[in-house]
Each structure stands twice: as C-alpha cells, then as structure tokens.
C-alpha cells in the first residue's frame, strides 16, 4: 500500500537511512486522519481485522526494534562498533509469522528477519532481543547465537538455527527437518520438540530462483504427492529485487500459485491489520494438514541491500521515493494512530525510546570482549573427546539385538570366514543399525536393490523402510534430509552414490552441515556419516563420473572428518568410530569407500585370498588419525598411501625388494582429514627414502598434505618422490589407467630414488 505524505526537499546526496528515519517522524507529525474509539486489548485493532489490539501493540514494538537495530547498524558501522549492515527494513511484517508460530517450531531464517526475531523473543520470559541482537552485530564473544563468529539470527532456546549467507542453501535442511518430525514417529524416536511442530524457512524472491531452492520445492512436492507428511512453511518474502536485479512483476505468484502439492497462500506483509489473518491461515494450514506450504509474503526493501549499497547510483530518486513510501512502519503508524492506541506524542516517544534502547545496547556490546585468539575462533569447529568416542565405538550392550539381526550366534559376522570389503561394510552397517535405533540409512537405490554394488543388501529387509529407504535422485536433498534428521536427534547415514555426484551438493556440507557447530558456538550439531562410493580403478566401467579421484573438495571443508579404508576389517572399525564421533561430538563425517576394492579378495596372485579379513570383534575400533603400518621395522623405503594405493604399494614392494634389495615399509594413512601430521612425521624420521603414493590428482591432492607434514616435521632432506594421478578428468575404458598411478609407476619412482 502506498502511503501519501509530504516529502521535504531531499536530494541524491542524502543518506537514505536518514531519510527513511525522518519519513517516519514526519508521517506521524503530519498525520491528520480520524481517530476511532480505543479498542480493548482483546478487540480487533481495526474493524474486520483478525489482529487484536494487544497483538498489534506487540507486533508494532517488534517492528520498531527491528528498524532501530538497522538504523543503529548504519550509524555505528562507520565508527567500527558494529560489523553488519544487511538490514530487515521493509520486511518487518515477518514478525506476524513469528507471532503465529511457536518457539518450538524450528526456524531457518534469511538475513532480513529482525522483526521475526524480535517477536519470537516474546515467546519465553526473560529474553531480550535488543541486547542479544546488539551483541551479534558487534561480533561480541558474549553473543549468545554465535559467540561472535558471525552476525546471524539464531537462538538455542527459541529453536532458531543460525544460518550463514549462502543463497537458499538452508531450504533443503529446513524441509529435511520437517520430514524428520514425521519420520520420528515412524521409528519410535522421541523428538526434542512437540510432535505437531512445523518448520519455518524464510528466503527472498530472488533466492527462490536458485537451484538449491528449487530442489527443496521439488522434493516437498514429491513427498506430498506420495501423501507423506512434510510440514514445512516456506516463507517467500517478496520485496521485488535481489541486490540490484529486479524480479519480474508477478513472477512469484505466477510461478508458485498453481504448483501441485505445494499449497500457496498470499499475505500482505506491509499491513499488520490486513496481513495477520492471511498469515494465520497459512500457519494453521501447514500445521493441520502436515503439507508443504508456500507463504508469499509481500514486503519491500528500504535503505538498500546493505550499508554499502548506494542505491541512488543505480536507481532514480523518483523510484526511491516510491519505494520508501511503501515502508510498512508507516502503515503500522497509521494503524496505531487511527485505532487510538497511541497519540502522536506517545508514538514518537516510543519511537525515540526504542532508538535509545538499541543504541545503548550497541554501545554496551562494543565494550564487551571479542574473539582475540585463534583458539577461541576455532573452539566449536571440531570438538573431539577421544575417551568418550572410544567408549562409544566399542560399546557392545546390544547383544540380543545383534542375534536377532544376524539370525543367531553362528551367523554373527565375527564367527564367519574372512570376507572382502563390500560384505564387511554391509555387516558393519547391520551392526550399527542394531546398535543405534535412531540411525537411518538412505540414498539412491540403497533399499531393495541394496545399492549399485550390493553393499547395503539386506538392510531394508531387516530394518524396514522407515529406517532404510530410497530417496529421489538429488544429492543436494539427500544431504538436506541428513541435516534435518540430525536436527531432530537422529543419526543419519546418507549415501552419495559416487564421489563425482557429491560435487553437485558440496555446499550442503561445506556451507551448512560442517559450519553449524562453528556458527552456533557448538549449541547446535547435525551429526552424520556420509558414505560415498569413491575413487578409481574400476575395470571396464565408468569414466570420470564413476572413477572420480578428486578428494580435495572434501579435505578443504573445515571440521569435516574424512576416512578411507583399504580393507574390510578397517572399514568396520572405522565405521564404528565415525558413528561414535557423530553421536558423541556431533561431527560431520565422510566415509570414502574405494569401489575397486569392494570385491577384491586377492593381493598377490589370483586365489590367494590375502585381501579378505576376519570381521573385528566389537571391542575393536579405529582411533581417529590412527594409521596401519606394514613391515614396521623396514626403513630403506617408506611408502605413504591410502585406499587403492595400499594393495598397490604392497605388490610394488615385492618388485622393489627384488630389484633394489631394500626392505619396504607401507604406511596406510586411513584418515585423510584431518591428516595426522605427527604420525606421518614419526614414520618419516626413520626412513632413508620416502615415496608418497596418492591416487588423487597432482594438484591439491592428499599427497601435498603428506609432503608438507614430512617437511614441517623436519624430514625435508630425506630423498623423496611422489607418484600421483594426472591433473585431468578420467576417461572411459582402459585409458583410465593412463591417468592413474600404477604399480609400475611406484617401482619406477623407487629406481629414481636409488640414483640419489
């Protein structure tokens, strides 16, 4: 709604924040409408409105808090007292969503959510939105949301999970959380929130176009189409622009109003009296039907995208005047005066008192401690309690469940002959699902088929579809679901069918899952163990998308644990530790399963069976960072490697020993992130020569990290060579072996070392 009011002489040199501020004051001073009889607290604020007077007062106060936090940020940023100026001005109507939802409805908010947060703070006694928000703006160590690590909207007691700024990346995990609320009932899991909770997810009209948003909408509809509950309220706050790119007029309504299985509602977020009932219908519909609901909330954007966005440089002054005239606080001021709830003086006094309160809180926040050491910054990133993890990994108090799962004592995996890796991983997963009733395993083809390589065969039959199930073909959503289940206290084991497919969805781990503990100061955790069929050397199959050796995108993610076994017994003990790391420390873990070793039984000759191993007893688990050493006393040549490189190095060692007369030690790193630098250096110190065998690519591969650990450990003078894959994508068929290291390459590198 456009608000007609007198505009003083203003020109393009003026600060638009100052003008928006002055607009409100002038609007109140110059208002001359009729005043109605003052409504009682429980009466409609205006005739026909669903919003009562008490509700209006509180919503209006929340809007004012949000606005003055924005104005404060613009003033104090130039004084280096606050560090964030992306504001909520024009979006204050989202306070209605907060009022009509519960504080136990998990909320995933975008950055223009000041009104929502101010209103949600009313849900619990003793909480102060101004103080908490000011601490966040100031990057104070006392910030209860992130501990000063980022300006985020977040609150543990209010179930607002802190978000970063990656566009639309929070939509998949918001939907995943909604699905998890319903999944808990099916598996008998006790939720940390009421059973009829919904999730709330806000985003802008520009963000709705992002591929990550579209995958969430599609999955929501895919779920509802099958009549499965997915109680998520998508709140599209439509201000008509993304930074400087305008959304085509009518695009949001046209694009979402008639989508099947995504129930559309419109609400005027610029008018509390008009929009309240519209928002109420959407919230009640979502909670009652348990269906994905799209709330199209009309908003505007005043004061630009952020403090550095000087709109006058790219928008006409007439356009700015028109936008500023739609400011929702002007409409709220009109309602306040027309209803008789406030006189002009009372309204201006409230406005100035709110300003004073926000500035005082900001000045106080500026005096508080900030993060001053690297240790403080990184503290919540990667918690690790070794003793507790080991105790959990070796916990064996589920004997009766194991017997039922495996079919009796004689069929327990430790009582069976040695097996290859694929079977051992499957046995370990049966074990872990028996051990953890809150664990879920899911992905493409993992259920009835048992996965492309039958690794998960039998799990669906044993644990049923509520715990082992297929998803749609969408890696982004698989990892979004994993985060949702974790948010609700479950232990997800998502499968990404091939490593190359992970890259499609990398940001769900990099920007969301692995960052949550960091940005929430370890108040929120989303533990998971992501299984990925990985690496090269598949024979007669694949090409790049099934023989991907790019590990770098995983190792570059702060806090992520990456393990890669080379043999079946190690796979089982590593999985036990990964699940314990997830449960105890909330860690996000990646388990890379070498495809070419799934079915490998032999090491040196066909039929020797030397790459099959006994299933480890339940009192065995692999400590994080612990490697495996073959021929420990040998020191003529030490080969550092992992995955497919381990049996390759062991075979090459025979050739090297016969050619050079050397004794060869092979070191299986097993853990690729974090690399155990101390372990690597210790193995290097006793070596006469060093060879690093890395099946990844030459640039930015694991091998670079190993060599760095060796050099920084004081062993840089030791003769050293690296055998590594080429910097190329993997071709099809036999040509694949041209770009990957082989046994002959290892032996050739040893010959080069012999010349030095």
Band of residue 14 on the pLDDT scale cut at 50, 70, 90: low
Assess whether 591 and 460 both reside in one domain. Answer: yes
For tokens 């709604």, name the residue.
1
Same structural domain for residues 363 and 414? no
**Taking all residues of the chain, what is their mean pLDDT, rounded to a whole number?**
94
Q: Are residues 138 and 263 in the same domain?
A: yes
Residue 620 lies in a domain: no
**Is 546 found in the same domain as 660?**
no
- pLDDT at 541 exceeding the cut of 70: no
Domain end residue (candidates: 345, 372, 399): 372
Q: Is residue 196 part of a domain?
A: yes
Cα 670 to Cα 555: distance, rounded to the nearest angstrom: 13
What pLDDT shows up at residue 631?
97
Specify whether 385 is located in the same domain as 366.
Answer: no
Q: Which domain holds residue 658?
A: 628-755
Q: CATH number of the domain that 508 lies in? A: 3.40.50.970
pLDDT value at residue 733: 82
Give the number of domains in the chain.
3
pLDDT in tens, 298-325: 999 998 888 787 888 888 889 899 999 9
Mean per-residue pLDDT, 230-255: 95
Residue pair 412/406 in contact by the 8 Å Cβ criterion: yes
Angle CA 626–630–634, to nearest 5: 115
Residue 304 has a pLDDT of 84
Same domain, 541 and 637: no
C-alpha of 36 from chain center: 50
Same domain, 448 and 433: yes
Q: Does 617 map to a domain?
A: no
CA 293 to chain CA mean position, Å? 22
Asked which of 107-116, 630-639, 668-677, 734-743 is least confident by mean pLDDT, the reply is: 734-743
Q: Work out whether strand 671-673 and strand 561-563 pair parallel, antiparallel, or are unpaired.
A: antiparallel
Judge whether 252 and 208 are in contact, CB under 8 Å.
yes
How far is the C-alpha of 57 from the C-alpha of 354, rounded, in Å? 14
pLDDT band per the 50, 70, 90 thresholds, residue 344: very high
Is 607 within a domain? no
Quick one: DSSP state of residue 597?
Answer: G
How many Cα atoms are found within 13 Å in the side-chain-facing hemisphere of 340?
A: 12
Same domain for 592 and 665, yes or no, is no
Check whether residue 404 and residue 543 sit in a common domain. Answer: yes
Same domain, 383 and 368: no
Contact (CB, 8 A) for 622 and 570: yes
> Token digits for 233?
């309220």
According to DSSP, the residues that pair with 585 across neighbouring strands are: none
**Owner of token pair 């664990």:** 439
Residues 693 and 640: their CA atoms lie apart, in Å, by 6
Query: pLDDT for 595-621, tens place per residue?
Result: 999 999 999 999 999 999 999 999 999
590 and 677 share one domain: no
Rounded-to-integer distance, Cα 561 and Cα 494, Å: 15
- pLDDT of residue 735 exceeding 90: no
Domain of 719, CATH number, reads 3.40.50.920
Residues 643 and 749 in one domain: yes
Mind listing the pLDDT tens digit for each residue in 357-368? 999 999 999 999
């Amino acid at each position: 709604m456009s608000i007609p009011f007198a505009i003083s002489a203003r020109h393009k040199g003026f600060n638009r924040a100052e003008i928006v501020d002055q607009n409100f004051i002038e609007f109140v001073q110059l208002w001359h409408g009729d005043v109605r009889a003052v409504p009682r607290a429980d009466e409609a604020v205006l005739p026909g409105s669903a919003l009562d007077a008490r509700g209006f007062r509180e919503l209006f106060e929340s809007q004012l808090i949000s606005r003055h936090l924005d104005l404060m940020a613009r003033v104090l940023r130039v004084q280096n007292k606050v560090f964030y100026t992306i504001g909520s001005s024009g979006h204050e109507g989202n306070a209605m969503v907060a009022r009509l939802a519960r504080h136990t409805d998990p909320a995933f908010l975008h950055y223009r959510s000041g009104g929502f947060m101010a209103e949600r703070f009313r849900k619990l006694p003793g909480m102060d939105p101004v103080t908490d928000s000011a601490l966040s703006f100031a990057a104070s160590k006392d910030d209860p949301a992130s501990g000063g690590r980022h300006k985020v909207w977040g609150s543990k007691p209010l179930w607002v999970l802190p978000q970063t700024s990656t566009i639309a990346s929070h939509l998949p995990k918001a939907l995943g959380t909604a699905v998890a609320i319903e999944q808990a009932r099916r598996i008998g899991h006790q939720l940390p929130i009421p059973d009829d909770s919904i999730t709330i997810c806000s985003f802008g009209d520009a963000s709705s176009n992002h591929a990550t948003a579209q995958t969430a909408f599609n999955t929501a509809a895919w779920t509802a189409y099958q009549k499965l509950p997915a109680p998520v309220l998508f709140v599209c706050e439509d201000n008509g622009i993304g930074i400087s790119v305008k959304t085509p007029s009518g695009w949001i309504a046209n694009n979402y109003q008639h989508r099947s299985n995504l129930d559309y509602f419109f609400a005027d977020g610029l008018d509390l009296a008009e929009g309240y009932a519209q928002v109420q219908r959407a919230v009640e519909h979502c909670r009652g039907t348990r269906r994905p609901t799209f709330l199209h909330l009309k908003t505007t954007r005043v004061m630009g995208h952020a403090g550095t966005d000087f709109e006058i440089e790219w928008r006409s002054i007439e356009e700015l005047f028109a936008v500023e005239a739609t400011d929702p606080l002007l409409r709220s001021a009109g309602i306040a005066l027309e209803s008789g709830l406030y006189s002009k003086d009372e309204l201006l006094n409230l406005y100035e008192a709110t300003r004073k309160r926000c500035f005082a809180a900001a000045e106080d926040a500026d005096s508080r401690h900030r993060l001053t050491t690297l240790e403080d910054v990184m503290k919540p990133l990667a918690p690790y309690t070794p003793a507790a993890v080991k105790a959990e990994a070796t916990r064996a108090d589920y004997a009766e469940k194991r017997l039922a799962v495996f079919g009796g004592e004689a069929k327990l995996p430790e009582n069976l002959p040695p097996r290859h890796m694929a079977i051992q991983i499957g046995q370990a997963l049966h074990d872990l699902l028996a051990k953890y009733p809150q664990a879920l395993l899911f992905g493409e083809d993992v259920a009835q088929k048992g996965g492309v390589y039958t690794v998960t065969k039998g799990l669906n039959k044993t644990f049923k579809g509520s715990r082992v199930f297929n998803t749609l073909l969408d890696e982004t959503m698989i990892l979004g679901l994993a985060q949702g289940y974790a948010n609700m206290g479950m232990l997800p084991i998502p499968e990404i069918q091939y490593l190359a497919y992970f890259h499609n969805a990398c940001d769900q781990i990099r920007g969301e899952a692995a960052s949550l503990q960091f940005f929430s100061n370890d108040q929120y955790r989303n533990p998971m163990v992501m299984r990925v069929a990985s690496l090269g050397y598949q024979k007669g199959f694949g090409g790049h998308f099934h023989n991907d050796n790019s590990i770098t995108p995983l190792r570059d993610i702060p806090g992520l644990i990456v393990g890669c076994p080379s043999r079946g017994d190690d796979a089982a003990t590593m999985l036990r530790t990964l699940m314990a790391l997830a449960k105890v420390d909330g860690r996000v873990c990646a388990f890379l399963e070498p495809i070419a070793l799934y079915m490998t039984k032999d090491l040196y000759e066909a039929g020797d069976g030397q790459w099959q191993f006994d299933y480890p007893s339940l009192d065995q688990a692999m400590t994080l960072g612990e490697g495996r050493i073959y021929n420990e006393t040998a020191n003529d040549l030490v080969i550092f490697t992992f995955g497919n490189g381990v049996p390759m190095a062991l075979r090459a060692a025979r050739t090297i020993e016969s050619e050079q007369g050397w004794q060869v030690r092979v070191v299986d790193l097993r853990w690729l992130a974090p690399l155990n630098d101390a372990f690597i250096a210790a193995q290097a110190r006793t070596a006469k020569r060093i060879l690093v065998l890395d099946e990844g690519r030459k640039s930015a591969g694991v091998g670079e990290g190993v060599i760095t650990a060796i050099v920084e450990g004081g062993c840089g003078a030791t003769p050293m060579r690296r055998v590594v894959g080429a910097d190329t994508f993997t071709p099809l068929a036999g040509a694949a072996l041209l770009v990957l290291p082989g046994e002959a390459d290892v032996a050739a590198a040893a010959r080069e070392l012999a010349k030095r």
